[in-house]
Every structure is written in structure tokens, then in C-alpha cells.
Amino acid sequence: MKSRITHLVAALALACAGAHAAPTAEVGYGALWGTTVNFNSLAPGAFDSVVIDGLLSSGGVQFGERFAGQELAIAKVPRAGFAAQDWFDDLSFGGPTAGLTLLAGEAGANLGAYHYGDADGAALFGIGPQNSDGSDPTGSGAISARFATPVYALGLQLRDADAGAMLLNLYRLDGSLIEAVDLGGRNDGFYAFARTGGVADIAGFTLTNRDAYYGVSIDNLLLAPSAAVAAVPEPASLALLLTGLGAMWAAARRRPARR
């Protein structure tokens, strides 16, 4: 009992220490409350695939390839087992100017949507530069998004993820970088990131990847407006907290019975 409370205090202290170490913390997707963009209207039929030229507005969020101020470069990555390379959008040169003005990629190299034929339906992908051998550049492009109102946390579902290199840059409205979140090594799943301290200043993001096999797609983009309705502790900390509170409650109940 005493050691449980000691562990609880230690866990909370660690959580607080971690909160000051990084601008964002990874949280459980299911712990966030907000609006979700599911992209399903873009490709409503099973296995539909569409190419989207120009800026996209979906679910109240604007999407494009990059922000004004970001230079579009090409990253070349050897393709396993082949002489060919895969070419990817690379936005690591320059940075967004104030206001986060979205720009679309060239026609046919901007965005697209694909319906996976499952319950989650369509997902959004970026289209990269045409590979030199003419193979499909689907999923190897950058995706950038600007929110109508800055948020405290965002979650997303990764699809077609094969543990490759992936970077999620979170920006403030003035164009400054909040954090470059390294998503490398991840497979398909739901992931979420929240601002430490609860400040709601994430105004947009850029997602780039060098993931094999059709890059990556995103789905079920979740935008949480404020920390007020979201559980800040990670699921493990929260479980520990509840266990500790339960133990204290049980102890408090036992005490009068002994008298």
C-alpha cells in the first residue's frame, strides 16, 4: 500500500518532469476529444482512388502540399532489391512564413485519396515526384494542413506505414516550429500528440515520409481544441493514478472498521 503510493508519486513526478522536457508529449488517441476528419467523401467506393489537384478543404481543415516559404526538394531513397530509387517530397529546406499559407503541388503531384475497402474507408495521401522508372509516386508526397483554429493536440491514423522514415512538423500560426515529431519506425495505427502545458497553438502541420511501398496515408485526423476535455496523462500513468486512488479509497474505508 505504502509502496504503491510511493510509486504513484514517483510516476507523477516523472510525468511532470517529462512535461517540461519536450514541447509535445505522445498521448493516447482514444484519450482526446475533438473533431475528426475521415476523408471518406473523397473516395466513397471501395478501392476508389482519386487524384486531387489544388488545395483541398475537408472537414473544416485545409490541405495542400507545403506552406509558402518551404522549398520543395526531392529525396532519393534506394529501393530494396531493385536498381531503381524511390523519389520523395522533401520539405527540410526553408520554413513556413507567417500566416501558414498553403500551396498545392503541381497537377498530378499534389494529393490523392484511396479507399482501403475496410470500415475506415478513404484516406489521404501525398503524391511525390515521378520516379525515374515510371513507377507509382502515390504516398511519397508531402501533406500539409492548416486548421481553422489552432489546437492543443492532434491525432492521426497511419495507413500503409512500413516502419520507414517519417517526420511530422507542428507549426504555430506565425510559422515557427513547435516540434519536429519523429514518426520513423511506425507501422499502421493510431497516434496522438498533445502540447505540454495545455497551450492551444498548433495551427498546422507538415508530414513527409520516405516509407517503402506507397509511402503512407493518413486517416481519421483528430483535432482537440483544448486540454480542458482531454486526459493529459498517458494511459499507463492514468491507470497507475486510478490504481493509487483506489488503494487509498480502500484504505480509508478499512480504517474506521478497525476501531
Burial of 57 (0-12, 13-18, 19+ CB in 10 A): exposed
Neighbours of 101 (CB within 10 A): 14
C-beta of 196 vs 206, nearer to Ca ion: 206
**Residue 144 touches Ca ion, criterion: CB under 5 A:** no
Site track for Ca ion across 161-200, x = CB under 5 A: -x--------------------------------------
Say how many Å lie between the first and final Cα of the chain, rounded.
20
The binder of Ca ion chosen from 160, 178, 223, 244 (CB under 5 A): 160
Q: From CA 160, how far away is CA 116, in angstroms rounded?
A: 10
Opening angle at CA 117, ends 113 and 123, nearest 5: 25
**Minimum distance between the CB of residue 162 and Ca ion, rounded to whole angstroms?**
4
**Residue 141 touches Ca ion, criterion: CB under 5 A:** yes
**Minimum distance between the CB of residue 85 and Ca ion, rounded to whole angstroms?**
16
- Of residues 104 through 133, those in contact with Ca ion by CB under 5 A are 105, 109, 120-122
Which residues are registered as beta bridge partners of 63?
Answer: 56, 145
The binder of Ca ion chosen from 52, 89, 154, 170 (CB under 5 A): 89
**Minimum distance between the CB of residue 169 and Ca ion, rounded to whole angstroms?**
16
C-beta of 86 vs 89, nearer to Ca ion: 89
Q: What's the sign of the alpha-carbon dihedral 243, 244, 245, 249?
A: positive
Determine the interface stretch with Ca ion among 155-163, 170-178, 187-195, 251-259 (rule: CB under 5 A).
155-163
Q: What is the DSSP string of 186-229?
A: -EEEEEEEEEGGG---EEEEEEEEE-TTT--EEEEEEEE--GGG
Binding-site ranges for Ca ion (CB under 5 A): 38-40, 65, 89, 105, 109, 120-122, 141, 160, 162, 211, 213, 219
